[in-house]
Amino acid sequence: MRKILLVFDGINFSEGAFEFARRLNEENQILVAGVFVPQVDFANLWSFAGAGSGAVTIPLIEDDEARLIEKNIERFKQLCEKNKIDYRVHKDFYDFALPELKKESRFADLIIIGSEKFYANMGINGPNDYIKDALHDAECPVLIVPESFNFPESNILSYDGSESSVFAMKQFAYLFPEFVKNPTLLVYAKNERDEEIPNMEYAEELAARHFPDLEIMKLHFDPKEYFAAWAMEKKNSILVSGSFGRSSLSRVFKRSFSKDVVRDHKLPIFIAHP
């Protein structure tokens, strides 16, 4: 059984994030911990967790927001019971012990975040500092889910030869046994037409053990310009990426890779870093 943290902007309930968890539970039973983060605390979500010793003052939320959070917590409970999902709601998070959230990611298999609802009221159209901080500092993989999606029937493994991209591939296979039999593309994208796929023999040897229906593809276009558009044409897919903002993978696909996929809310994207 996998333990999954379902992290909500407290006043915005992500149907997409819950639906993905529900579908996973249909395949293999999971434990879902619902975490409802007060909106006022987003900017300091992980910095509070890393504040070290000493008292930390966290601002209180307004009564209206508190009532909305309570309403969403109750809805989360009802949906879990209706769908026979084993669940927890951590009231200490609601009571603003935010330093515990980062620690809990260490003891979870996966975090699921709704890519649209998590920053719906921030006036921002793309991945913001809050999501990027979560991706950087979480101590387990993160799955970012759009509100409207098709449950994955194929996998796209983005590969650039880096440690991060290989780590993400392995973590995805370990965490999602329900997906490994799906048709899988291991994709290498470089602007240089003559460049060989790095460590191709090793990558194929590993990937084929986990993904029996495997195809390896080298894309001959500038990934910074076109990769996101190419990926989003792959309907019913999930995109697997290395670290967001830390590794050579994110630098190779700096402008249009996972950032644009998240921004445009098209595909679920799984992100992991060593």
Query: Cβ(118)–Cβ(14) under 8 Å?
Result: yes
Greater confidence, 107 or 127? 107
Structure tokens at 9: 């902007």
**Taking Cα atoms as reference points, which of 151, 257, 161, 259 lies closest to residue 216?**
161
129-138, 182-191, 227-236: the lowest-pLDDT one: 129-138
Query: Cβ(197)–Cβ(166) under 8 Å?
Result: no
Q: Residue 37 above 70 pLDDT?
A: yes
Greater confidence, 24 or 53? 24
* Predicted confidence (pLDDT) per residue in 204-260, tens digit: 999 999 999 999 988 876 666 677 777 777 889 999 988 654 443 344 344 434 555
pTM above 0.85, yes or no: no
Q: Residue 47 above 90 pLDDT?
A: no
pLDDT given at position 90: 74
Greater confidence, 141 or 134? 141
Q: Residue 83 above 60 pLDDT?
A: yes
Greater confidence, 90 or 21? 21
Greater confidence, 8 or 123? 8
In order of start, what are the domains of the chain with their CATH numbers?
Answer: 2-145 (3.40.50.620), 154-271 (3.40.50.620)
Q: Residue 97 above 90 pLDDT?
A: no
pLDDT given at position 41: 47
**Is the Cα torsion angle 272, 267, 215, 255 positive or negative in sign?**
negative
User: Between 15-27 and 63-82, two packed helices, what is the crossing angle to 10 degrees?
Assistant: 20
- Amino acid residing at 271: I
**Is the Cα torsion angle 19, 121, 11, 259 positive or negative in sign?**
positive
pLDDT given at position 68: 86
5-14, 143-152, 203-212: the lowest-pLDDT one: 5-14
